[in-house]
Amino acid sequence: MKKKGKYQNAIVAKLLLCALLCPCILGACGGGTAADSTGSGSVPVTDDPNAIVYYIDSENGDSSNDGLSPEKPLKSAMKLFQEGLQPGDTVLFRRGTTCKDRLRLKVSGTAEKPITVGAYGEGDAPLMKVTGAACALTLIDVSYVIVENLAIEAPTGAGIWIDAQNRDITDVTVRNCTFNNIYYIEQYNRADMSTGPSSRSAILIGSIRGGTNSFLDYTKEYKLKNVLISGCTVTKSYSGFMFYGGLNKYIENARVENCVIDDMRGEGMIFEGCRDSVATGCKFLRTCKDNSYYMAPAWFHMAEDCIIEKSEFGWNITDKDGMTVDFDGGSVRCTYQYIYSHDNARFMQNCHDADVHGPNKGNTVRYCLSINDNMMNSHGFVGAGSSASLRNLSFYNNVLINSATFYLEHYNNLLWENNIIVFADGHTLIEPYSIKTVDNNVYYGTDHVPAFDKTGTLADPGFVGGDLYDIASYVLSATSPIVGKGRLIDESVTEDIAGNPITKDSVMIGCFAVTGDHAGKIEFNPEPENILEIGTKEELVAFAGKVNAGEFYHTTKVILTADIDLGGMSWYPIGDQGKNQVGFSGIFDGQGHTISNAVIATDDTKEGWYGTGLFGTSTCGVFRNFRLVNFTYDGKSSRGERYGLVVGRLMSGVIENCYIEGKATGYAAVGGVVGMAEGSVNIRNCVVNVEVTTTSGTAAGGIIAYNRYGECVIKNCLFTGKVNGGTMKKNGALIGETWKDYTRTLITDSYYLDDGNQKSYGCNGSESAHGVIIETGSGALGRADILKKAAEHPLYR
């Protein structure tokens, strides 16, 4: 087994180019002071001659000193924090020292005389390090406080807790601080936000009483407003900045600016129960690393009129959520704008507006750039039935590059305009059911405009071109066919993603309001540089084990270097939805080699939408150039596993240029290639010689058994086998069941063996009901004719 290349590391240098274009988009204007942890002392922010500056040296100080000079520092600030301070006072910790006290400030400043906590001397920032389930610094019921130039660690606790429990509080600032090793421990549930220590956060603002993690269970009695977090860095921690307001007592006017949040087991930031709050110029990188809970890098919940803008989201990978854009229940008039998003699990997914959370409405996504957010499909709204919806969403002037399948489900009165979507191979835009206006968008990388976009254009956008990860590459060239075709959506939006002014005459389709001088080329869908070579049975088994343990391989091309004979072994699928709900998400390229002789096993004790095959489950995977010979499956379970000899459950992806031979018998959703297809599934240039049998008579297909929802394409394929079982009503030689009227199957130039009984596709319920099926240049062929065609396939032997 051999590994080559460093796919993601090569991006770092390229990202620096973007800072020249618009520094704030990458957070280049933020975090500078915090990252540079050395420097001189803090400067008191009041001119009050009666204000006192206290000096603390946790290593060399003495409690008998007065603490009024660096030469006579106190050893601890605990007594001062309890009762010894007055408005306007400053407490400074000596740089290069470590304070192990658990500090709680009980004295407030005033607007004119804030209390300041900071650093003095030269060297590294003073380290506040606590052990146990504790906060390094607690700021409850205090106002007009500034905390700056500190480094904080809490290996089993939390950093700073700001809350209003007995009175309204206002104007608390944390700036130029670093947080590292804040509960960097694998967890299996979301943190308890009832107290600071239990939050596992760098900074917890507010709380949820009782540890229920329910917004409605905490009706806050006191208001918390004007919290500023500026120039801070959080690394190797569980969670970053967690804002938790209460029902009808919102956290108001919070601001997070120029901060870097990198390498988090949990989430980067949550605006929950917030109003009129902004996060700007930040970086949310490598968050959500624990796959135990549904998490996103930075999101809204029960928030009103809040904004996340001019920020970078990168490498946020999880098999649960991992999206850049996330409006959770009760989000009203919130906005993501001017976002540079790349290499995340997906670009957008929003959660339901259950009645207890109130409506989710009036939100906006605009002038964002998404590149390679394609490990999983993007969704409009999940977690609720069709009666729930994301209402009045505006999604406009965004550019999505190498986009995975994008579902527009559960929308009510959607505005989707002026967007450019370059799809990853085999992906498209899907509309299950919605009320929407989809208009004036440009699509590339697909062979058709989505049927519901009446004025959409299928065209090369004509970018100026250059590096895939350079924001400037996505300016439209002066010769682009779509120049001048943008529509002004909102006159209050005055600048594009790079700060260029927008006018009625300059608005474009896409995220820029300017054009470039020439048209260039961008290499869309580049092959990953990470290569994993597999040439033996043992290496294939080891690869399967790693996928089932949680590896996605989404930036890896797996290649076969030799034929592999599994010797009749019981084969447990790659991607079993145990610790890995995504399954395999990379490229599997057989390079013309054969995998042969196995009996596919399954775990009959599991419930749910599981898949069984060579690969059990895959999301956005690509499979190509291999032969699968003498693979069999004889399913005994009636639990509803999805059986396909190549992939049991494929949630968007491509299977191309393969030869599949074997036998598959199962209860339901039994396919020669794929058991259940969801999203956008493309199967092309394949020869399939499989005997398929369903013991329930439900959903059997020679190539695909069941198109659950989305769009399946079967192109240039041959099925030379046989489909058996039941009345054959839901069975078909090419595809079994295409479910409901919002599901589409496109069959082009594909043929099946005419045995006098088989038909191309099955039905749904009655003899004629099914989703949309469009069949072109396809049909039944006699044995001699179909075998003659099969012999022309490069992998047919």
Chain segment 352-379, per-residue pLDDT in tens: 655 456 678 899 999 999 999 998 888 8
Cα(116)–Cα(729) distance, rounded to whole angstroms? 76
pTM summary value: 0.87
CA distance 651 to 635: 22
DSSP annotation string for 200-261: TEEEEEE--GGG---GGG---SS-EEEEEEES-EEEEESEEEEEE-BTTB-EES-EEES-EE
Mean pLDDT of all residues in 586-615: 83
- The domain ranges of the chain are 31-50+89-321, 563-790
661 contacts 630 by C-beta, under 8 angstroms? yes
The fold for domain 563-790 equals Pectate Lyase C-like (2.160.20)
Q: What is the rounded CA–CA span in Å between residue 702 and residue 723?
A: 6
Confidence label for 477 from pLDDT (cuts 50, 70 and 90): very high
Give the C-alpha separation, 377 to 555, whole Å. Answer: 16
pLDDT in tens, 106-163: 999 999 999 999 999 999 999 999 999 999 999 999 999 999 999 999 999 999 999 9
Contacts 24+ apart (CB under 8 A), 776-779: 776/746, 776/747, 776/748, 776/749, 777/748, 777/749, 778/734, 778/747, 778/748, 778/749, 778/750, 778/751, 779/751, 779/752
User: 355 Cβ partners below 8 Å, 6+ apart?
Assistant: none
Q: Which of 236-250, 618-632, 698-712 has the highest mean pLDDT?
A: 618-632
The DSSP element (H or E) to which 147 belongs, if any, is strand 145-148
Give the residue among 399, 377, 404 at the shortest CA–CA distance from 522. Answer: 399
Instruction: Please tell me which of 378-387, 532-541, 632-641 the model is most confident about, judged by mean pLDDT.
Output: 532-541
Consecutive H or E run containing 783: helix 783-790
> Please, are residues 674 and 683 in contact by the beta-carbon 8 Å criterion?
yes
User: In this structure, what is the dihedral angle of CA atoms 314, 320, 326, 330, given to the nearest 10 degrees?
Assistant: -160
140 has which bridge partners?
163
What is the mean pLDDT of the segment spanning 561-565? Answer: 98
